[in-house]
Structure 1
Amino acid sequence: MLRPEQMSKISVAGSKRIMSDVIETMHELNLVHITDYDGSWEGFQPGDSLEGADETSSKLVTVRALENSLDLDKDEINTDATVDLTNADERLEEIRQEVNELDDRRAELENRQREIDEQLDQMELFADLGLDLDLLWGYESLEVLVGEGDAAAIEESLAEADHIEEFEVFTGTSGESVAIFAYPDDDAEDDLDDALVGVPFTSYEVPETDGDPESNVADLNEERKQIEAELEKVEKELESVKLNAGNFLLALEEELTIEAEKTEAPLRFATTERSFIVEGWVPTGKVDELQQRLTDDSGDQLEISEIKRAKYTDASGHAEEEVHDEEPATDGGSPAATDGGQPVVEEDTEDEQVMTDGGKSDGDLVTVEDDPPVVQRNSKLVNPFEILTRAVNQPKYSEFDPTITLFLTFPLFFGFMIGDVGYGLLYVLLGYTVYKKFEDAISDFGAVIVWLGLWTTLFGFLYGEILGLHFIEQMGYHPILKKGISSTEWAISWLLVAVVAGWLHLNLGYIFNFVEEWSVHSAKEAIVEVGSWILMLNGLWVFIFSDLFSGAKPTFLVGSEALFAVGPLGFGFEGFPAIAGIIGLVLFGLGIAILLTGPWYEVVEFLVPLAHVLSYTRLTAVLLAKAGMALAVNLLYFGAYRDEEGFHFMHKYATDYAPKHGEVVFGGIANMGSVSLPLGPANLALEGALLGLPVYIVGHIVVLAIGGTAAIQAVRLEYFEFFEKFYEGGGKKYEPFGHERTHTSDD
């Protein structure tokens, strides 16, 4: 679980005449993460697409364009229906013609609709002027402009214009619309526009029609209704095409995608005139299966070599175990020699044969260097939490995969903070709904929520809470734990528990990093760069929890009154002896000294072991805050009183209940009334109970939603405190050559 699946690099070499068969087998197996040839081998070039690649790509573009035009969503289509792709070309052409005609008609109608909308906007201006439209156009000697502007400035500018003999300016009722009629000199070369230069004025085109603007508005609105009806008809026809042809298009797209992957695969191969080599990564446990299938399908015409197995001991993933084939397969002809670690092609009168000699030549590995892809190896229970790991980055091949630690600690932190049976069951219900309704990453997210809900429910039983109430105690169950909202000892105890949890959690992160540094680099680097921090972390906190200088430390921390000794969670721990504290300080100083021999500049962060552990106290802060919010909602609804035994929620009208049982803190909405309503072991006022119910429901929904933000605090501890110690990410995702069919079958 902590390491990804081991990967092996394989090389497949053979004659071009069987290349298409090899591609077919590799695609069907869906195992090989192909390494793209980088052009570095002398005599080899990237291959050319197989015959039919251009035609397949063209059809695929057509299918995807049709899906886009139809706004095709696979969730709307019955993908379980059987699809017959016989005569697919003819059917595709029929669908294309029908969709294109409808799409063109839709575009034409939408364009006309936009034109009408623009005209309607202008007609409002013409209507404001109160002039018939035929008065605004068709003159031989008059120039007419209609638009929006400052009428006074326009008149002033026209009066000063030498080439304008006469003019008249009409202003609409709003004062913004303006119609200008001007009679220029016969000899004037300038027109009306020149006379308005520098004047605020926006001109609109006058439609060459007659009648009053109101009538034109009515006509345009009527035409717009007709267009809307026509558009609706076209949309229904397109919807009908989508429902009838959607499954066919999805199936054809999948089939063409697969065909395109196969025909374009040689672009990633190294080829000569007659031979090819393809390299790629395969899970080590699947290498034999790959070799067997390729051999069965191609006989002895291929050389299949496992040229290396990637180890987990190199930051780049290049470190490997060398693998040698005793007798590389051949298909006749002269084998290629190698020169300087590169394959060399030898010409032969009949055929060419490429040999890699088990992946080695004169001590040099003949391969395109690349990092192995990462296949995270987690169980079905843990697998959904990979979404949280990948939210940071894909693990490197040489790194520990932190998914299992997220599975063990993230829900634990969340459940500790929320700890309520009612909220927990609601989270489980929400998560399960998301898990079943959606797919892929969103489905995994739903599974994570389920786990959060389960841990919340478990802690809810330990705290004895259901929606912030302790009705569970009335059934004879006495909770093991208390949240501490009304008990200082419990609250401080939880602060100490959070600190210890952080101490242990960070130690785990440093240990992961120590092992990685030791494996990838050296023992010295592991000790200097990681061991120093382990010494500082543990030395500091052993000192803090020791009797050394106990008089200066809080009594709840060490001594006979320490909460870990006599508190609600007490187990007799009064602190480490003073000698342990001295050793702790020595270890802390030793860690700083060791760090100074390496990356000394990190010494400025010597208080990180203190600050990062204290950061885990946010767990207790959220625990108390959420409990306080739930208390506030229940107080509003039920009310509460206080007596010599403490704080209690009330379940009967306050003026009758409080005098007998104690001082009223708040009467509660549910107790405002006069008619009693039996409710379990107590009575509520009928009017108040019904009136306060919406407040009660909405209040707990708000608490549920805000309580969900506890996940942010928990995941923050994982990402910023824990991951920072050992995890970087940046690995390459395993993407094997092949395709998982969802709309078609191999047949």
Structure 2
Amino acid sequence: MLRPEQMSRVSVTGSKRVIDDVIDAAYDHNSLHVSDYGNEYEGFTPGSSLEGAEEVNEKLVTVRSLESILDVEDADAGPRGVLEDEELEAELEDVRTRVNELDDRRNEIDDEIRELDEEIDRLSPFADLGIDLDLLRDYDTLEVVVGQADPDAVEAQLADAGGIDAFDVFAGDDAVAAFAKPADVADPGVLQDALVGVDITFLSVPEGEGSPESYLAELETEKAKLEEELEAVDQELEAAKTEAAGFLLRAEEQLTIEAQKKEAPLSFATTENAFVAEGWIPTDSYDGFAATVKEAVGDHAEIEEIERAEFTPDGDHHSESVGEAATDGGHEQPTEEPPVVQDNPKIATPFETLVQAVSRPKYTEFDPTLLVFLTFPAMFGFMIGDIGYGVGYLAIGYYFYSKFDTPGLKNVGAIGMWAGAFTVLFGIMFGFDVFGYHSYSLLGFEHWDASKGVSPAETSWAQAWLVITVLFGVLHLNVGYVLSFISNLKHHSFLETMYESGSWLLLINGLWAWVFSAHLYEAKPDLLFEAFNTALGISFTGLPETVGFLGLAAVVAGIVLLAIGEPAELPEVLSPLVNTISYTRITAVLLAKAGMAIAVNLLAFGAYMDHGHFKFIFTAENLAHAQEAGYEVVFAGMTTQGPVGIAAGLVVALIGHIVVLALGITAAGIQGVRLEYVEFFNKFYEGGGRRYVPFGYDRQYTAEE
């Protein structure tokens, strides 16, 4: 569970006569992670694709292009079935011809419509003017300018312009036409020059004669016909999609499988007559893999387990040799980091997504997935601690889990459901909190001891949670340091392990043993000891002074070991203290979210103080009762102000709690993930493992027989 599956490096050696059969057998078993050949063996060269690979890849490109044109999705798949090569060849050509012709016609119509749109856009301002096109050009004694501008500004500018004997301006909603008779001494273009100071966009007059409105109507009619034709083509393409989608998905899958098989020898070592394929396989799968290949080719291929990788740290795996490869005449085998198959209980596998967000674990290190499963939902639930919000997170998680097929999103949904379940659990512990309201009284309980510590009378609980989260941090970090110790001990001597990991264990445990000891009791904050009485009902005055002295001795020993073995890490000597105190952010989020929920309820429903406790008002009758009893009313609340106030208060409550729900995801989620990644993982985890990609394919659309 804390380690990935054990992997074995295997070698398959055989005659090229049976290479196709070996590839088929290995592919069907779907367990061998093939290693690329890197010219390690004398006399061997990298292999080449099998005959027909280029043709298969061309067909695969065609299929994917047709899927893109038709916008084929997984949901369009029909029933699974066998697809014979002859059927694939014939139907693919028919579909390709039909779809490409329709797609070409669609592109042609799109181009024609685009050109018409440009012409319509260019003609629209002239139709707005309502002046025939031939009247806007080709004058001997007049100059004409058409543009988009403020007509008053144009008139004012022309009135003050020199070189113009007379002018007239015609304006529509979106265009202006100016006609001018230049003076005899004026240069050509005097009208346009006169308008330089005006904010105007000049328009060129289109070719043609007569009414621009009629011309524009013709263009619109032509465009409408093209759009009808385009719609008909789209309908034909949709019909083609309905008929061909299932075939295309089956064809893509079958061709993908064929292409992978035909390109497999590119990773092999080959001679003229023989081949060697090497790769990694889960050790438990080796016997089944060997039996499958033997059944396919008999004695024409030799399968060997070259090495069995053990789990050791520091990036190098120590491999136990279990066989002698027949590839190199005794040459040393190349070393390669095994791929990683995370081996976690099914209940914890969704949390692999959180771990892989940092990086996939190396084969040589502990996989923290199970530990994240045991701690992250609990931290999240504690930080929110509310039945109402917990049900919301459960619902959101279930939506993601049930509605999405993507493994990552399904895992996010499962994580959300676990977080929601723990939120409900802690909501019960905190007095059956439902959206910030203690509902235990509705269940027949007269009082409830545990609380979040937000009310003035409950501050001792807030202090207790600070201490409890510190103790949780000590435990959590100890697990990380212990895992580091175990890993290092397997690779180094005991003394070296004490330098690298034991020093930190001594530092963190010695430090906190002293903190919680009776040594210098008077100088330490009272909350360190009173928290045990508040939360656990235990009268605690500190660990014996002897334990405190031993703790100080352990701290000194840890510093000495660090100075001797890892002097570069001495500046980090206080990190056990800093990292542990960082866990108090759990309590900080708890108090912040509880305070936000109370604030929402306070605005919506009002509250008064009863011996330091918030009691929500809800109704005008309750408000009157509180005032008569002499309670301190903190805020009267919106729902006590008549029907309109009730409606407004319910809206405020709904929106406010939705905001708190959303902020809970970001605050509790981010802080929980931060504690896992930064404080915990850094003690023993590096990541950077290789993904296990077995040679094979999980069929979705086709059947083998």
TM-score norm. by structure 2 comes to 0.88
Counterpart residue number, 1:742: 700
Does 2:223 correspond to 1:242? no
Is the CA contact (8 Å cut-off) linking 1:493 and 1:569 kept in structure 2? no
2:536 match: secondary structure: coil
CA distance in structure 1 between the aligned counterparts of 2:540 and 2:214, rounded to whole angstroms: 93
Counterpart residue number, 1:346: none
Query: 1:726 Cα shift?
Result: 1.2
CA distance in structure 2 between the aligned counterparts of 1:212 and 1:41, rounded to whole angstroms: 84
Counterpart residue number, 1:266: 265
Provide, for residues 184-213 of structure 1, a one-character-per-residue CA deviation record: whole Å limited to 9, x for no partner.
xxxxxx999xx99x9999876653222344
Distance 1:438 1:175, change over 3 A: closer
CA distance in structure 1 between the aligned counterparts of 2:615 and 2:66, rounded to whole angstroms: 67
Distance 1:83 1:660, change over 3 A: farther
Counterpart residue number, 2:498: 527
Provide, for residues 362-419 of structure 1, a one-character-per-residue CA deviation record: whole Å limited to 9, x for no partner.
4x4344x321000000111001110001000010000100000100000000111111
Query: 1:699 Cα shift?
Result: 2.0
Which residue among 429, 437, 446 is the counterpart of 1:469? 437
Query: 1:66 Cα shift?
Result: 0.7
Does 2:390 correspond to 1:424? yes
Q: Percent same amino acid among aligned pairs?
A: 46
Task: Give the residue type in structure 2 aligned to 1:707.
Answer: G
CA distance in structure 1 between the aligned counterparts of 2:428 and 2:170, rounded to whole angstroms: 79
Does 2:587 correspond to 1:620? yes
Higher mean displacement: 126-135 or 170-179 = 170-179
Distance 1:110 1:10, change over 3 A: same
1:642 match: secondary structure: strand
1:321 match: secondary structure: strand
Distance 1:712 1:299, change over 3 A: same
1:396 match: secondary structure: coil
Query: 1:645 Cα shift?
Result: 7.3
Provide, for residues 666-701 of structure 1, a one-character-per-residue CA deviation record: whole Å limited to 9, x for no partner.
22222223xxxxxxxxxxxx6654453222222222
Query: 1:46 Cα shift?
Result: 1.4
Counterpart residue number, 2:280: 281
Which residue among 547, 560, 570 is the counterpart of 1:580? 547
Counterpart residue number, 1:133: 133
CA distance in structure 1 between the aligned counterparts of 2:181 and 2:628, rounded to whole angstroms: 96
Counterpart residue number, 1:46: 46
CA distance in structure 1 between the aligned counterparts of 2:294 and 2:181, rounded to whole angstroms: 92
CA distance in structure 1 between the aligned counterparts of 2:655 and 2:144, rounded to whole angstroms: 64
Distance 1:383 1:204, change over 3 A: same
Is the CA contact (8 Å cut-off) linking 1:128 and 1:177 kept in structure 2? no
Distance 1:217 1:610, change over 3 A: farther
Distance 1:655 1:599, change over 3 A: closer
Is the CA contact (8 Å cut-off) linking 1:151 and 1:171 kept in structure 2? no
Counterpart residue number, 1:696: 653
CA distance in structure 1 between the aligned counterparts of 2:364 and 2:17, rounded to whole angstroms: 39
Query: 1:182 Cα shift?
Result: 13
Distance 1:136 1:63, change over 3 A: farther
Counterpart residue number, 2:289: 290
Query: 1:121 Cα shift?
Result: 3.3
1:106 match: secondary structure: helix
Does 2:620 correspond to 1:665? no
Distance 1:139 1:27, change over 3 A: farther
Provide, for residues 76-114 of structure 1, a one-character-per-residue CA deviation record: whole Å limited to 9, x for no partner.
x14446575562222212211222122122222222333
1:279 match: secondary structure: strand
Query: 1:459 Cα shift?
Result: 1.0
Distance 1:555 1:89, change over 3 A: same
Distance 1:460 1:246, change over 3 A: same
Counterpart residue number, 1:34: 34
Counterpart residue number, 1:656: 624
Higher mean displacement: 542-551 or 140-149 = 140-149
Counterpart residue number, 2:419: 452
Provide, for residues 111-130 of structure 1, a one-character-per-residue CA deviation record: whole Å limited to 9, x for no partner.
23332333333334545777
Does 2:357 correspond to 1:391? yes
Does 2:519 correspond to 1:551? no
Task: Give the residue type in structure 1 aligned to 2:442.
Answer: Q
Task: Give the residue type in structure 1 aligned to 2:699.
Answer: R
Counterpart residue number, 1:503: 474
Does 2:604 correspond to 1:637? yes
CA distance in structure 2 between the aligned counterparts of 1:121 and 1:142, rounded to whole angstroms: 27
CA distance in structure 2 between the aligned counterparts of 1:114 and 1:22, rounded to whole angstroms: 56
CA distance in structure 2 between the aligned counterparts of 1:32 and 1:98, rounded to whole angstroms: 41
Q: Which has the higher contact order (CA 8 A, sep 6+)?
A: 2
Counterpart residue number, 1:328: none
Higher mean displacement: 229-238 or 725-734 = 229-238
Is the CA contact (8 Å cut-off) linking 1:151 and 1:178 kept in structure 2? no
Distance 1:598 1:644, change over 3 A: closer
CA distance in structure 1 between the aligned counterparts of 2:154 and 2:617, rounded to whole angstroms: 75
Is the CA contact (8 Å cut-off) linking 2:519 and 2:545 kept in structure 1? yes
Counterpart residue number, 1:720: 678
Does 2:663 correspond to 1:706? yes
CA distance in structure 1 between the aligned counterparts of 2:420 and 2:300, rounded to whole angstroms: 57
Counterpart residue number, 2:25: 25
Counterpart residue number, 2:310: 311
Distance 1:52 1:546, change over 3 A: same
CA distance in structure 1 between the aligned counterparts of 2:105 and 2:299, rounded to whole angstroms: 59
Distance 1:94 1:645, change over 3 A: same
Counterpart residue number, 1:412: 378
CA distance in structure 1 between the aligned counterparts of 2:328 and 2:560, rounded to whole angstroms: 46
Which residue among 531, 541, 549 is the counterpart of 1:563? 531
Instruction: Give the structure with the larger helix fraction.
Output: 2
CA distance in structure 2 between the aligned counterparts of 1:718 and 1:9, rounded to whole angstroms: 33
CA distance in structure 1 between the aligned counterparts of 2:699 and 2:395, rounded to whole angstroms: 31
1:309 match: secondary structure: strand
Counterpart residue number, 1:99: 99
Query: 1:278 Cα shift?
Result: 0.4
Query: 1:497 Cα shift?
Result: 0.5
Task: Give the residue type in structure 2 aligned to 1:729.
Answer: G
Is the CA contact (8 Å cut-off) linking 1:420 and 1:461 kept in structure 2? yes
Is the CA contact (8 Å cut-off) linking 1:310 and 1:317 kept in structure 2? no
Query: 1:496 Cα shift?
Result: 0.4
1:514 match: secondary structure: helix
Provide, for residues 190-246 of structure 1, a one-character-per-residue CA deviation record: whole Å limited to 9, x for no partner.
999xx99x9999876653222344444444344334433333333332222222211
Provide, for residues 403-446 of structure 1, a one-character-per-residue CA deviation record: whole Å limited to 9, x for no partner.
00100000000111111122212221221221111121111111
Query: 1:713 Cα shift?
Result: 1.0
Distance 1:314 1:642, change over 3 A: closer
Counting only pairs closer than 5 Å after superposition, residues 473-488 of structure 1 correspond to structure 2 as: 473-477=441-445, 479=448, 481-486=450-455, 487-488=458-459
Number of aligned residue pairs: give it: 685
Counterpart residue number, 2:69: 69
Query: 1:180 Cα shift?
Result: 11
Kindly report the root-mean-square deviation, in angstroms, between the aligned alpha carbons of the 2 structures.
3.5
Counterpart residue number, 2:404: 438
Is the CA contact (8 Å cut-off) linking 1:151 and 1:169 kept in structure 2? no
Is the CA contact (8 Å cut-off) linking 2:80 and 2:700 kept in structure 1? no
Is the CA contact (8 Å cut-off) linking 2:41 and 2:328 kept in structure 1? no
Counterpart residue number, 1:590: 557
Is the CA contact (8 Å cut-off) linking 1:489 and 1:568 kept in structure 2? no
Provide, for residues 129-173 of structure 1, a one-character-per-residue CA deviation record: whole Å limited to 9, x for no partner.
775333567899999997789999x99xx999xxxxx99999977
Task: Give the residue type in structure 2 aligned to 1:89.
Answer: E
CA distance in structure 1 between the aligned counterparts of 2:556 and 2:345, rounded to whole angstroms: 42
Query: 1:175 Cα shift?
Result: 11
Higher mean displacement: 134-143 or 657-666 = 134-143
